Amino acid sequence: MSNAAGARAAMDVAVESRGPNSWEIAVFSVKQWFKSAAPYLNLLGITAFVLFWYATTEYLKLPWFKKLPGPVGVFKEWVSRDPAYGISIYTPEYYSHILKSVWRVVQAFFLATSLGVPIGLFMGWKKVFKDYTFPLLEILRPIPMLAWVPLSILMWPGREQSIIFLTFLGSFFATVLNTLLGVESIDEVYLRAANSLGAKPRHIFFKIILPGALPFIFTGLQISMGFCWFSLVAGEMLAGEYGLGYLIWNSFIMVEYPVIVIAMVTLGVIGWFSSALIRAAGNRLMQWKVREDAR
């Protein structure tokens, strides 16, 4: 009985005009985008690059470029039912490399986010905790991921763990730092207002610190996703048996040059897609920010 009433009340809140919803805003902004010159200029830029690539490698065959695979060769190989070097959109190997890499990134990114965000939030919230951890963070953070490779191999029993660890490291520090900056960006006045309204520490943490830091956290997550892919490929090149990074390095050794470019472009597309996914998740969680920007 009271449950039903509660559900109805919740419905009322949801149904009550919330202005345009996020989907409508998204459709509207895509429509607006196609009315502007931007998409056509985007396309023109990409076409110009491909033409330049084609001209230097396959048409003019300039001395520096003649060893490189050209766009036509790469494309033919990519969509071939019977690829010369064994990798195309019709071969299961292609997808198993992609899946392996994606799965590694998902694990590392999940670990880095679920550890990095709380640590960053605590560092920003409790000065004592920051005093303990910040110098350590600042010393560990600039160490290039590649420098961790030997220790990582020594530390972990298998290659898989050490690749995931390397991928994790790259994104972990970016997440912590951006979360910390996010907390520090929160105007003191919100904390005062919350205290004045009778908030207890847990409310301060969940209702002020966390939502207040969210815009920075999501910027950080996009950066950290980039680091994830960077570190992953480096890790796979050194220690992998599968994955796009391994594929690139192995194709280089085996002189299967078009495969290198296929794997590179695949990495680019997946990387872009994963960033877009994080942006979408951020927009979903931060309706207030979306509507602020839409104005």
Asked if 16 touches another protein (CB under 8 A), the answer is yes
Q: Which residues contact 169 (CB under 8 A, 6 or more apart)?
A: 145, 148, 231
CA–CA distance, 281 with 219 (Å, rounded to integer): 12
Q: How far is the CB of 21 from another protein (least distance, A)?
A: 11
Q: Which residues contact 270 (CB under 8 A, 6 or more apart)?
A: 98, 101, 102, 229
Asked if 124 touches another protein (CB under 8 A), the answer is no
CA–CA distance, 213 with 221 (Å, rounded to integer): 12
Q: How far is the CB of 187 from another protein (least distance, A)?
A: 8
Asked if 3 touches another protein (CB under 8 A), the answer is no
Q: Which residues contact 126 (CB under 8 A, 6 or more apart)?
A: none
Looking at the Cβ atoms of 157 and 198, the one nearer to another protein is 198
Asked if 192 touches another protein (CB under 8 A), the answer is yes
Q: Output DSSP code: residue 21.
A: -
Stretch that binds another protein, among 37-45, 78-86, 200-208, 253-261 (CB under 8 A): 200-208
CB neighbours of residue 169 within 10 Å: 21
Asked if 284 touches another protein (CB under 8 A), the answer is no
Out of 6, 20, 45, 118, which residue is the one contacting another protein (CB under 8 A)?
Answer: 6
CA–CA distance, 48 with 162 (Å, rounded to integer): 40
Stretch that binds another protein, among 15-23, 39-47, 100-108, 235-243 (CB under 8 A): 15-23
CA–CA distance, 226 with 244 (Å, rounded to integer): 15
Out of 207, 241, 272, 273, which residue is the one contacting another protein (CB under 8 A)?
Answer: 207
Asked if 288 touches another protein (CB under 8 A), the answer is yes
CA–CA distance, 73 with 61 (Å, rounded to integer): 13
Q: Output DSSP code: residue 207.
A: I
Q: How far is the CB of 30 from another protein (least distance, A)?
A: 22
Stretch that binds another protein, among 41-49, 168-176, 203-211, 270-278 (CB under 8 A): 203-211
Out of 190, 205, 230, 257, which residue is the one contacting another protein (CB under 8 A)?
Answer: 190
Out of 19, 63, 92, 157, which residue is the one contacting another protein (CB under 8 A)?
Answer: 19
Asked if 295 touches another protein (CB under 8 A), the answer is yes
The angle formed by the CA atoms of residues 227, 229 and 235, to the nearest 5 degrees, is 100
How many residues sit close enough to another protein to count as binding (CB under 8 A)?
A: 32
Looking at the Cβ atoms of 211 and 226, the one nearer to another protein is 211
Q: Which residues contact 224 (CB under 8 A, 6 or more apart)?
A: 109, 112, 113, 116, 170, 171, 172, 174, 175, 178
Asked if 42 touches another protein (CB under 8 A), the answer is no
Looking at the Cβ atoms of 193 and 277, the one nearer to another protein is 193
Q: Is residue 174 a contact partner of residue 223, using CB atoms and an 8 Å limit?
A: yes
Name the site residues for another protein (rule: CB under 8 A). 6, 9, 13, 16-19, 187, 189-190, 192-200, 203, 207-208, 211-212, 214, 286-289, 291-292, 295
